[in-house]
Amino acid sequence: MTLSEPDVALTDFALAVECAVLGAWLNWGAAAGDALRKWWTLFFWALGGGALLGGISHGLVTDYESLPARALWSATLLAIGLVALACWAIGGLLLLSPRAARLLTIAAASLFAAYAAIVVFLSPLFVIAIAHYALAGAFLLTALVVIYRRRRERHLLAGIVGLVLSYAAAAVQRSEIAMPALNLSHHALYHIIQAVALLPIFWAARVMTREAQCRRADNF
């Protein structure tokens, strides 16, 4: 099998595997009913699903105007939207009261529905997905910064660093910075930086979900 864009496809597939493993690891031995864990799991698995679809599109699709190619692209944009939804929900659970967090999640779900309608039926532009995710990611980053200023815990700082690095990865992609000596396009380089960024984000998610589980156990 010959991949049309091997560097992009292979790094996409590697990112998908990483996200699948991190999401599964987050749930290893965990009790059911933890909202924070569920949203973090959606964050990793939706991101991994988008990477998998992107790898298929960049590696196996040759006619980008075909119906299957357009369907793949729409599914990729929807996966990005789910990552944004998870960011809103996680940030709300970390920063707001339970009632306010629920209201924010409902509003974010409505925003996702509007976003889905736009990218599927009106304008499937990547810039719309980036703007949609960037706003949600900024809210999650703000929540982590606020909590870190109160508690000064290392895992929160790691989450902040990971999110900032994720934005740096997006900047590399948008600026089309490549590494020709390593045969890496700007898309492939974005995937590699994003893969590194996910590790401190996972550490933060792992510790936060454990803390939430302990608090819930103490209430029984």
- Domain range summary for the chain, segments of one domain joined by +: 6-218
Mean pLDDT by 10 residues, the chain (220 residues): 80 96 86 81 96 88 79 93 97 94 97 95 87 94 96 95 94 87 88 96 93 60
Between the alpha carbon of residue 176 and those of residues 3, 58, 166, 169, 217, the distances in Å are 21, 16, 15, 11, 48
Q: Which CATH architecture has domain 6-218?
A: Up-down Bundle (1.20)
Q: How many CB atoms lie within 10 A of CB 118?
A: 17
pLDDT for 27 equals 87
Between the alpha carbon of residue 193 and those of residues 12, 154, 189, the distances in Å are 12, 21, 6
pLDDT for 214 equals 62
Cα 33 from Cα 25, distance rounded (Å): 16
pLDDT for 184 equals 87
pLDDT for 149 equals 94
Contact between 42 and 86 under an 8 Å Cβ cutoff? The reply is yes
Q: What residues does 179 pair with on adjacent strands?
A: 184
pTM of the predicted protein model: 0.91
